A and B are shown apart, each in its own frame.
Chain A
Amino acid sequence: MREERHYQGNPQKNSPALGATLAFLGINGLLALLHGSQGCSTFIRLQLSRHYKEPIPLNSTALQEDSAIFGGWDQLKKGIGKVMDKYQPQIVGVMSSGLTETFGDDMTSALASLHEERPELRPHPVVLVSAPDYIGSMQEGYQRTVLALLSTLLPAPTSDLNSTFAHDKSAVTGMKDAADPATPIIALFPGCHLSPSDIDELKDIMTLFGLHPVVLPDLSTSLDGHLELEPAPVVQGGTTLEEISLLPQAVAAFSFGLSMHKAGQYLEENYHVPHYNFPSLTGLSATDALIMTLAGLTKQPVPAKLSHQRSQLLDTLADYHDQLGGKQIALALETDLLYSLATALIEVGAEVPVALAASPNEIKNFPTGIPVQVGDLEELEELAGATQLIIANSNGRQAAAALNRPHLRAGLPVFDRAGYPQKIWIGYRGTQNFIFDVLNTLAV
């Protein structure tokens, strides 16, 4: 037993409000508003922009000392009103912070009261999400926000849904163009462990099977790093409100990452859309599971391009099996990414003696072979001494330097290596990339 510590040393954890911001950044025309003091939003903006190398639109209700006494309810009303007047976003995403959760500001009544005073604001949707800093990590804030987006923005479920929308698998036939309204829609809920380019790859795979992917949230068009013609202080790219309204019509909902199970469940329970959860998309088995489900769902043969990528991956596994076999690798990541990378490594014969999760959620669902526990990067430094490679975010650099071990960056933030938001580590091709990154980092 390790001795209990009363502090986090070199935290790997980001705040839930940061995760909430990230989810909001995948919604077109949205402006996020953090209900807290100014530092809360400044730190999030800095952290996300040094990872994605993008401007991060995020405003704050800028609470000060008097709010600590009188509460921040009025400030919240003013903030939402101001954001709408000044920036005219299509949608406002509001998240609470540790400060406002502690004094218990009721965000719902603040919004209702604002609507009463200014009824002209009613048509503009406002999504409220509770993201107290003292519960969970980035992953929890992100997941809660996706759920809040669904429950706020989807049309109310009706009882005759089954007759209105054809959900039975036989309805999915033929290769169709995504722009064709007859192309079956598939709802995708990526976890925050997927990069913008991972999501792009995922959309390509869906298109190959003749499906029209609607992704919530879609970071692949907002945080992918492209040069807009008109920079704006609200989210550019991302899922549109119109696309979100299509979600109940999807033939299936796929959620990615253990934490996103609830989002898929929401669509299944309220709109009878069949839901499939994929805890991982990295590794041969994980990708096979996705492709088999897609083939079964669409009754389509597996596209030749994907089969070819699969055989390329197999060749790589054969070529490098010896360099991978028995390698001792220590990981410290948010649980969804930890699960994905650890299972992919174990699958090819590497060993994972150290697996530190940023927060406790979902660790009970890990396979028995992974010795997962909650831990920070100070623990990584203590435990990874006998391993040959460290996989953690850029903040793992202190541990890697102290232990003199190679360090493969993963997760968030990665600020000292180029191109991480553009990395693809999912699917057959992405798994091959990941294996190469592991091998090349070990080679240095």
Chain B
Amino acid sequence: MFVNLSKLDLKETCSPADKGAPKLCLRALPGEGAERSCAFDGARVVLMPVTDAAHLVHSPIACAGNSWDNRGARSSGSQLFRRGFTTDLKEQDIIYGGEEKLFQAILEIATKHRPQAIFVYSSCVAALIGDDLEKTCARAQEKLTIPVIPVNAPGFLGDKNIGNRIAGDVLANRVIGTKDPEAPKVPLSINLIGEYNIAGDLWGVLPDLQNLGIRLQAAITGDARFADVQSAHRASLNVLVCSKSLTNLVRTMERRWQIPYINASFYGIRDTSQALQDIAAALGDPALIERTKFYIKKREAVIRQAIAQYRERLEGKTAILFTGGVKTWSMVSTLAELGINILAGGTQNSTPEDFLRMKELMDPTAQIIEDTSSAGFLDIIATKKPDLIVAGGKTKYLAHKTRTPFLDINHGRKLPYAGYEGMITFAQAVDRTVFSPVWELLARPFPSLEAAL
């Protein structure tokens, strides 16, 4: 039942020795207060945006009860993925095992909610009591016409990153290529790997792709129907947009279906243009390459014009950046496009490549955040006194206590920041928080007798 980590190619890259680098090989330390989440969370993050599937968590209430429907991944169609399903293992199940309960639950959900597939997630407790997820899913599958897919990523396997990779493995081995396996490649088509459509990010990128004549085969996974992902092997190119932890997936797809891959980011004007050019170049269509060259010039001019007023106001402001994945480095250049200097940057859920790239892009005088706990975070805010903090929701309310403008760029946000249009939304959001009148109100002294006399 345990996942064989060595087979999963999880630990092939060790962390660089640089201070503040995400600690991939090192285990998280007990009591340290570093906020890194677990493998189960990482797997679910990747698979959850398969919108017409049911996502069933085989666990006691803690794994799903506290966290279902809590991400901003959006769907243009089915809302089934937002439903929380769990076997809610109880004391009796811990003693006698939970396989039968799981089996019945799968059948009941399939009958009642008519999903296109069911992803069944293991958990720490399910793994410990020895429930055979694989066998139970196979048994249920025999009775059903839809795929029942086990996802073996109990939380104790490690950080979120490891869960991301396991999910990538599940997609490669159980989903992609299971529809029309021999069908030819679709010309000028791409998969966006690691695009979760948070706050509708994907929809900010799609119009530009369409305008250029590039077809989206599947976003893996964001606003994705199960059938889209099944046909993802027909894409001509994989574009890895976030979470290099899915590198294993694109490598497998390259091997198995001869789909080359490139890295890209859609945050910020420069990165978006670069991404479109790289996609065109990798697709190798001369007309597309030419079109793209003109297209990005035109779009850049329009967007730069639109954000000029914000840049003028924000020029010279300072920020602390703390995020994960592609945003680790992509946000450095995005903020630079608004004239904002980064005083310190840090990351937890990133790969070493992401981290090194961030370091490279940042001003050499910028500090790397080494202690990524809330204590370390408070320290750095106190010493750097930035005009803006750019980070995820976990640090939002702590940041507010320091009376510092804060921008949430992770999954809790409501606004799309990706693509050219996203850059305008982003600039507006930064401007709104930095220049909000409340910061001046917060700095005023409390009324007192002394002041009144």
Chain A residues with CB below 8 A from B64, complex form: 8, 11
Any chain B CB within 8 A of the CB of A45?
Answer: yes
Any chain A CB within 8 A of the CB of B35?
Answer: yes
Q: Which of B33, B70, B155 contacts A40 (CB 8 A)?
A: B155
Any chain A CB within 8 A of the CB of B375?
Answer: yes
Any chain B CB within 8 A of the CB of A87?
Answer: yes
Any chain A CB within 8 A of the CB of B97?
Answer: no
**In the complex, what distance in Å separates the CA atom of A59 from the CA atom of B64?**
20
Q: Quick check: B94 and A43 within 8 Å, CB to CB? A: no
Chain B residues with CB below 8 A from A57, complex form: 374
Of listed B30, B101, B129, B402, residue having the most chain A CB within 10 A? B30
Q: Which residues 260-285 in A have Cβ within 8 Å of B in the complex?
A: none
Chain A residues with CB below 8 A from B41, complex form: 39, 42-43
Q: Which of B31, B61, B89, B101 contacts A11 (CB 8 A)?
A: B61
Chain B residues with CB below 8 A from A38, complex form: 28, 35-38, 155, 159
Q: Which residue of A lies closest to B401 (CB)?
A: A231
Q: Which residues 72-101 in A have Cβ within 8 Å of B in the complex?
A: 75-76, 78-83, 86-87, 97-99
* A41 CB → nearest B CB, Å: 8
Q: Quick check: A97 and B62 within 8 Å, CB to CB? A: yes
Q: Quick check: B84 and A9 within 8 Å, CB to CB? A: yes
Q: Quick check: B65 and A135 within 8 Å, CB to CB? A: no
Q: Quick check: A7 and B108 within 8 Å, CB to CB? A: yes
Any chain A CB within 8 A of the CB of B68?
Answer: yes
Chain B residues with CB below 8 A from A43, complex form: 41, 62-63, 66-67
Any chain B CB within 8 A of the CB of A115?
Answer: no
Stretch of A13-21, A148-156, A157-165, A434-442 at the chain-chain interface: A13-21
Any chain B CB within 8 A of the CB of A65?
Answer: yes
* B404 CB → nearest A CB, Å: 10
Q: Which of B33, B61, B79, B82 contacts A14 (CB 8 A)?
A: B61
* A342 CB → nearest B CB, Å: 22
Q: Which residues 173-204 in A have Cβ within 8 Å of B in the complex?
A: none
Q: Which residue of A lies closest to B402 (CB)?
A: A231
Q: Which of A36, A61, A68, A227 contacts B31 (CB 8 A)?
A: A61
Q: Quick check: B128 and A233 within 8 Å, CB to CB? A: no
Of listed B39, B66, B109, residue having the most chain A CB within 10 A? B66
Taking A11-B64, A38-B36 as contacts, is the C-beta distance between A49 and B90 under 8 angstroms?
no
Any chain B CB within 8 A of the CB of A64?
Answer: yes
Any chain B CB within 8 A of the CB of A10?
Answer: yes
* B449 CB → nearest A CB, Å: 19
Taking A9-B83, A13-B61, A79-B30 as contacts, is the C-beta distance between A39 and B68 under 8 angstroms?
no
Q: Quick check: A39 and B40 within 8 Å, CB to CB? A: yes
Q: Which residue of A lies closest to B56 (CB)?
A: A7
Q: Which residue of A lies closest to B5 (CB)?
A: A65
Contact indicator per residue, chain A 43-77, by CB within 8 Å of chain B (1) or not (0): 11111011001110101111111011000000110
* A165 CB → nearest B CB, Å: 39
The number of chain A residues with a CB under 8 A from chain B is 68
Taking A8-B86, A37-B156, A64-B158 as contacts, is the C-beta distance between A134 and B93 under 8 angstroms?
yes
Q: Which residues 91-137 in A have Cβ within 8 Å of B in the complex?
A: 97-99, 102-103, 132-135, 137
**In the complex, what distance in Å separates the CA atom of A219 from the CA atom of B194?**
40
* B397 CB → nearest A CB, Å: 5
Contact indicator per residue, chain B 153-184, by CB within 8 Å of chain A (1) or not (0): 01111110000000000000000000000000
Q: Which of A46, A62, A65 contacts B394 (CB 8 A)?
A: A46
Q: Which residue of B lies closest to A53 (CB)?
A: B397
Any chain B CB within 8 A of the CB of A5?
Answer: yes
Taking A62-B30, A82-B32 as contacts, is the C-beta distance between A133 and B61 under 8 angstroms?
yes
Any chain A CB within 8 A of the CB of B403?
Answer: yes
Any chain B CB within 8 A of the CB of A398?
Answer: yes
Q: Quick check: A64 and B374 within 8 Å, CB to CB? A: no
Taking A39-B41, A233-B378 as contacts, is the C-beta distance between A14 and B65 under 8 angstroms?
yes
Q: Quick check: B30 and A17 within 8 Å, CB to CB? A: no
Any chain A CB within 8 A of the CB of B2?
Answer: yes
* A407 CB → nearest B CB, Å: 14
Any chain A CB within 8 A of the CB of B27?
Answer: yes
Contact indicator per residue, chain A 368-394, by CB within 8 Å of chain B (1) or not (0): 000000000010000000000000000
Any chain A CB within 8 A of the CB of B105?
Answer: yes
Chain A residues with CB below 8 A from B59, complex form: 98, 133
Q: Quick check: A65 and B66 within 8 Å, CB to CB? A: no
Q: Which of A47, A81, A83 contacts B70 (CB 8 A)?
A: A47
Any chain B CB within 8 A of the CB of A319?
Answer: no
* B229 CB → nearest A CB, Å: 24
* A394 CB → nearest B CB, Å: 9
Q: Quick check: A6 and B87 within 8 Å, CB to CB? A: yes
Chain A residues with CB below 8 A from B91, complex form: 132, 134-135
Any chain A CB within 8 A of the CB of B412?
Answer: yes
Q: Quick check: B398 and A76 within 8 Å, CB to CB? A: no
Q: Quick check: B88 and A11 within 8 Å, CB to CB? A: yes
Q: Which residues 140-162 in B have Cβ within 8 Å of A in the complex?
A: 154-159
**In the complex, what distance in Å separates the CA atom of A42 from the CA atom of B32?**
13
**In the complex, what distance in Å separates the CA atom of A83 from the CA atom of B88?**
31
Chain B residues with CB below 8 A from A47, complex form: 66-67, 70
Any chain B CB within 8 A of the CB of A33?
Answer: yes
Q: Quick check: A14 and B66 within 8 Å, CB to CB? A: yes
Any chain A CB within 8 A of the CB of B305?
Answer: no
Taking A7-B86, A15-B62, A67-B156 as contacts, is the C-beta distance between A227 and B33 under 8 angstroms?
no
Q: Which residue of A lies closest to B411 (CB)?
A: A46
Q: Which residues 246-280 in B have Cβ within 8 Å of A in the complex?
A: none
Q: Which of B105, B129, B374 contacts A233 (CB 8 A)?
A: B374
**In the complex, what distance in Å separates the CA atom of A78 from the CA atom of B31?**
7
Q: Which residue of A lies closest to B125 (CB)?
A: A98
Chain A residues with CB below 8 A from B402, complex form: 231
**In the complex, what distance in Å separates the CA atom of A6 from the CA atom of B32?**
38
Q: Quick check: B401 and A227 within 8 Å, CB to CB? A: yes
Chain A residues with CB below 8 A from B40, complex form: 39
Q: Quick check: A231 and B398 within 8 Å, CB to CB? A: yes
Of listed B35, B60, B64, B93, residue having the most chain A CB within 10 A? B60
* A20 CB → nearest B CB, Å: 11
Q: Quick check: B31 and A10 within 8 Å, CB to CB? A: no
Chain B residues with CB below 8 A from A79, complex form: 30-31
Any chain A CB within 8 A of the CB of B124?
Answer: yes
Chain B residues with CB below 8 A from A75, complex form: 30
Q: Quick check: B104 and A50 within 8 Å, CB to CB? A: no
Any chain B CB within 8 A of the CB of A395?
Answer: yes
**In the complex, what distance in Å separates the CA atom of A67 from the CA atom of B31?**
15
Taking A7-B109, A99-B156 as contacts, is the C-beta distance between A33 and B94 under 8 angstroms?
no
Q: Quick check: A68 and B124 within 8 Å, CB to CB? A: yes
Q: Which of B84, B104, B412, B442 contacts A395 (CB 8 A)?
A: B84
Q: Quick check: B83 and A398 within 8 Å, CB to CB? A: yes
Chain B residues with CB below 8 A from A14, complex form: 61, 65-66
7 contacts between A and B (CB under 8 A): A8-B85, A42-B37, A62-B34, A99-B124, A99-B125, A102-B124, A227-B400
Known: A10-B83, A42-B37, A78-B29. 14 other contacts (CB 8 A): A8-B64, A8-B84, A8-B86, A13-B88, A38-B35, A38-B37, A39-B39, A53-B397, A62-B32, A65-B156, A68-B128, A82-B32, A231-B398, A233-B378
Q: Which residues of A contact B (CB under 8 A)?
A: 5-11, 13-18, 33, 36-40, 42-47, 49-50, 53-55, 57, 59-65, 67-68, 75-76, 78-83, 86-87, 97-99, 102-103, 132-135, 137, 227-228, 231-233, 378, 395, 398
Q: Which residues of B contact A (CB under 8 A)?
A: 2, 5, 27-41, 56, 59-70, 79, 82-91, 93-94, 101-102, 104-105, 108-109, 124-125, 127-129, 154-159, 373-375, 378, 393-398, 400-403, 412, 442
Smallest CB-CB A-B distances: 10 pairs? A39-B38, A82-B31, A79-B30, A133-B60, A15-B62, A231-B401, A79-B31, A37-B155, A55-B398, A133-B62
